[in-house]
Structure 1
Amino acid sequence: MRDSGVRYRPISPERLVGELADRIASLPADRWSRVAVDGSGTAADPAGLADSLVEPLRVRGREVLRVSAWDFLRPASLRFERGRTDPDVRYEDWLDTGALRREVLGPLEPGGSGEVLPALWDRERDRAHRLPRTTLPAGAVLLLDGELLLGHGLRFDLTVHLWLSPAALERRTPPESHWALPAYARYERDVQPALTADVVVRMDRPHHPAVREP
């Protein structure tokens, strides 16, 4: 399979999870590993893939903490300051990158405390979650799902990007969310996640994914 000269290898969803779990488990076991699963909201379903990795990683001897970037959005007063359907604001200002860096990724840097806040902001109720911090043992894996995660200077040890062609992205995005499509197009243009992520999975057909070959 080819896309713009890039080769993709077809793979079953089960084999994909196994290969990703093997690669994550091979990261150094004497320190924390920060893994991002990046993809466009509902269409790519990065949360579903991240969830499916939890048990296989535990079977491989790794403790896992699941965190979602959707729990680190800015308050509604900031996200919707220019209206609820502004694609530029979604691209630039929805994610609270400072909080994600401070509360999740920073503590897992070498020499960090290992104390992670699993969720900060309840976007449905538009208020703080007020959850206690979780202390991760050495060798634990942070699995973070979200969209538009790359290109912010956030530090990860492994990045997985779930890529869809423009046609598939439009087809699989609910009509009420089509206003966000320009944000995803800008992300493709500015960040080029399909070229920069460590692992790229083509998800035009979710039951028949394909992995980018080196």
Structure 2
Amino acid sequence: MRARPITPEALVAELADRVAAAPGTPFVRVAVDGAPAAAPDELADALVAPLRLRGRPVVRVAAADFLRPASLRLEHGRTDPDAYYDGWVDYRALDREVLGPLEPGGTGRVLPTLWDSATDRATRAPYLTVPAGGVLVLSGALLLGRWLPFEVSVHLWLSPGALARRTGPERRWTLPAFERYRAEVMPQEAADVVVRMDDPRRPAVVDRA
């Protein structure tokens, strides 16, 4: 595999071009997947304006707004990596409320947020309607390998050493979950686009051809 260096600005433009050109039916669902240390939310946010400039309406959703209630999420404690891997995000709700309605023939009505983890209460957010030709950009960690449907998936890859260095002490307990993800899902193989993010100032797009 060859990694092609690219500037952060050029990366956003290249991804926006790819997403804008993706065939929708009539929607395009995009995953920006990566450990928090790789900043998937920031890249997903950066895609919104360029996609709109390319004529694509955009709805942004973060997996962090679809966490399960604390009574379920923290049932095995606050630092259990297996619970973090399997039980923190409500993937069924993401499928039901966000991705499923954008299937061919779907309603296009998506729920932008479900749960406020700070208050541990439902957000009661109103539904949004994604117009035909619209793009849903979902960001978060551990998104691939869960049968969630995406037209374009981007994985922000960190080497184990870089992941350990860039994960703060308060989140180091999550590292075994990402090692499990790397071994079981192999996101660097599963994603449509893989970007090396060991140095966020100097990303590199992986050419697997």
TM-score normalised according to structure 2 size: 0.98
Matches within 5 A, 1:3-82: 6-28=1-23, 31-41=26-36, 43-82=37-76
Please say if 1:105 is aligned against 2:99: yes
In 2, Cα distance between equivalents of 1:28 and 1:119: 26
What CA RMSD, in Å, does the superposition of the two structures yield over aligned residues? 0.8
In 2, Cα distance between equivalents of 1:28 and 1:166: 34
In 1, Cα distance between equivalents of 2:25 and 2:174: 40
In 2, Cα distance between equivalents of 1:104 and 1:207: 32
In 1, Cα distance between equivalents of 2:24 and 2:187: 27
Helix, strand or coil at the partner of 1:8:
strand
**What is the deviation of 1:83?**
0.3
- Structure 1: state its 5+ residue gaps: 1-5
Matches within 5 A, 1:139-178: 139-178=133-172
Please say if 1:210 is aligned against 2:204: yes
Instruction: From the superposition, tell whether residues 29 and 109 of structure 1 become closer, same or farther in structure 2 (CA, over 3 Å).
Output: closer
**Residues 25, 103 of structure 2: 8 Å contact kept:** no
**What is the deviation of 1:27?**
1.2
TM-score normalised according to structure 1 size: 0.96
Q: Which amino acid aligns with 2:29?
A: R
Would you say how many aligned residue pairs link Structure 1 and Structure 2? 208
In 1, Cα distance between equivalents of 2:92 and 2:23: 26
**What is the deviation of 1:157?**
0.6
Deviations 1:3-39 (A, max 9, x none): xxx2110000011001000000001256100000000
Alignment partner for residue 186 of structure 1, among 180, 204, 208?
Answer: 180
Q: Which amino acid aligns with 2:147?
A: G
In 1, Cα distance between equivalents of 2:46 and 2:194: 17
Deviations 1:114-134 (A, max 9, x none): 000000000111100001100
Helix, strand or coil at the partner of 2:202:
coil
Moved over 2 A (4+): none
Identity in percent:
63
Q: Which amino acid aligns with 1:66?
A: R
In 2, Cα distance between equivalents of 1:109 and 1:126: 30
**Residues 155, 188 of structure 2: 8 Å contact kept:** yes
